[in-house]
Amino acid sequence: MEDYKKTISELIRKHMVVLGPNIALAVARKIPALKLADNGDALEIAGDPKAALAAVADAYITFAGEISVMLLGSVTGEYHGH
């Protein structure tokens, strides 16, 4: 669970830098399962964390296209090994 929160937070934060904080948060806030802080941190995930990550990633990609794919890649690539 914690890893997912970290990943999601990271994703949102990166989008805040790129998209601008307002819009990034607005997009992420549309995911009902997520409870977010104003700085983008994922405070709580309701239900399946996998689904939540998928949903927020999808929402960003739908909104911003390729750039989000790149950001998603950079986020998930950051955690190496155990």
Partner 1 sequence: MCAVTIAGAVFLFGDSGPVVIVGVLGLAVLSALTLWLLRQNDAQIDRILAAHKEMASTLQSRDARLNQKAYQSAISKEISDRISSSPDVSETLEIIAGSLGAILDYSAVSYMVLEKNGTILFKCHLEIAVNAAFMESVKRAMLDALKLVHDASFKEEDIKTAHFGAMLDESAKEPMRSFFNVPMLVDGALVGMVNVASVKPDAYGEADAGILYGVVAQAGVMTTKIKHLIAEETNKVNAMLASISEGLIMIGHEEKVVIVNKRAKEILDIVKQDGEVLLLDVIQALYGKFDFRGFADQVLQSNKMEIFPELLLQKTFFKVIATPVRDRTGHTIGVVFVFSDITKEKEVDKMKSEFISITSHQLRTPLSSMKWFLEMLVNGDLGAMTEKQASVVLDIYNSNERIIMLVNDLLDVSRMESGKVVLEPTPTNLADFIKSMLPEVNQNFVKRKQTFEFVKPDTLPRIAIDPKLIWQALANLLTNASKYTPEGGKIKLRLALDAKNILIEVSDNGFGIPEFQKNRIFEKFFRADNTAKQEGTGLGLYIVKEIIEASGGIIWFESMEGKGTTFSFTLPLEGSKPNKIV
3-state secondary structure the chain: CHHHHHHHHHHHHHHHHHHCHHHHHHHHHCCCCEEECCCCCEEEECCCHHHHHHHHHHHHHHHHCHHHHHHHHHHHHCCCCC
Q: Rounded to the nearest whole angstrom, what is the least distance from the CB of residue 48 to partner 1 in the complex?
A: 9
Q: Is 72 in the site for partner 1 (CB under 8 A)?
A: yes
Contacting residue, 11, 31, 36, 53, with partner 1 by CB under 8 A: 53
Which of residues 44 and 76 has its CB atom nearest to partner 1 in the complex? Answer: 76
Q: Is 57 in the site for partner 1 (CB under 8 A)?
A: yes
Contacting residue, 9, 27, 31, 34, with partner 1 by CB under 8 A: 27
Q: Rounded to the nearest whole angstrom, what is the least distance from the CB of residue 52 to partner 1 in the complex?
A: 10
